[in-house]
Amino acid sequence: MLTVKNIQKSYTDSNEDVSVLKGIDLELKGGGIHAVVGPSGCGKSTFLLICGGLLQPSKGTVLVNDENLFELKGDERSKLRASLVGYVFQKFHLIPYLNIEQNILASSLSMPNENLEDRCKELVEELGLGHRLKHIPSKLSSGEQQRVALARALLNKPKILIADEPTGNLDTENGNAVFDIFKKFSDEGGLVLMATHDRELAKRADSIQSFDKGLLVSSI
Ligand code: ADP
Ligand code: MG
């Protein structure tokens, strides 16, 4: 479902190239929950952004369902991303002046689908947010905001869910709730790719990909 080959990424900082990813190969077939772990700064977030088609690698290929993401034109890539990939950002990136319902629906405005409102209702009930629909994000706890970000990512029924430190701001109970959502998504055939420094969360994943200094150093 997701294959990356020889992914390299350098950022240019003060006219100096900083090499962040130095050739990552990874093949994730079928579904399952996969954790990317490693010290801060080793390139986890960069890797996830590239896998989600949100950041262009300096070199290498990303295949999503055999489509080469970065060989597609920008709008084709956006379409593929919108239909197959749900992305949960570390800091949620909810729109502060939109209510929860509007936040969940906002990312799909360009996807004409009359069932989205029903799907939104179904998701918020499932995630325990039904009573929060008309509130703005700042009125919600971090756990609730995280669930809104998840609902937004799941709205289009993606096949791949990418989450950056999904439990980073959460207590154990809310962290468990997030994992339960991942588990359900993967039991239904989806693929979860998450970066985490939460050892307990990583241990519950089907595989652990350890990064160090821009390289994949072990896969278990
Ligand atoms: P992690 O998520 O593992 O902490 P990141 O992928 O966020 O690692 O960052 C890896 C390295 O790349 C860090 O040294 C970080 O400072 C650098 N970096 C990340 N984003 C940028 C950027 N947009 N411009 C320059 N350097 C960046
Ligand atoms: Mg990070």
pLDDT of the residue at 170: 81
Distance (Å) from CA 36 to ligand 1 centroid = 15
For residue 108, pLDDT beyond 80: no
For 218, counting Cβ atoms within 10 Å of its Cβ (0-12 exposed, 13-18 middle, 19+ buried), the class is exposed
Q: What is the pLDDT of residues 4-50, one digit of tens each?
A: 999 999 998 888 889 999 999 999 988 999 999 999 999 999 999 99
Using the atom order of ligand 1, give the atom closest to the CA of residue 165: 2
**Which ligand is nearest the CA of 20, by number?**
1
Atom of ligand 1 at shortest distance to CA of 164?
2
Instruction: Grade residue 110 by pLDDT with cuts at 50, 70 and 90.
Output: low
* Per-residue pLDDT tens digits for 46-75: 999 999 999 999 999 999 988 899 998 888
Taking CA atoms, 86 is separated from 162, 171, 196, 200, in Å, by 6, 23, 17, 23
* Burial (0-12, 13-18, 19+ Cβ within 10 Å), 16: exposed
Task: Please give the average per-residue pLDDT across 70-97, as a whole number.
Answer: 88
The neighbouring-strand residues paired with 161 are: 86, 192
- Eight-class DSSP state of 16: E
Q: Whose CA is nearest to atom 18 of ligand 1?
A: 11
Residue 59 and residue 6 in contact, taking contact as beta carbons nearer than 8 Å = yes
Distance 154 CA to ligand 1 centre (A): 26
Pocket test for ligand 1, best of 37, 46, 198, 210 (most atoms within 8 A of CB): 46
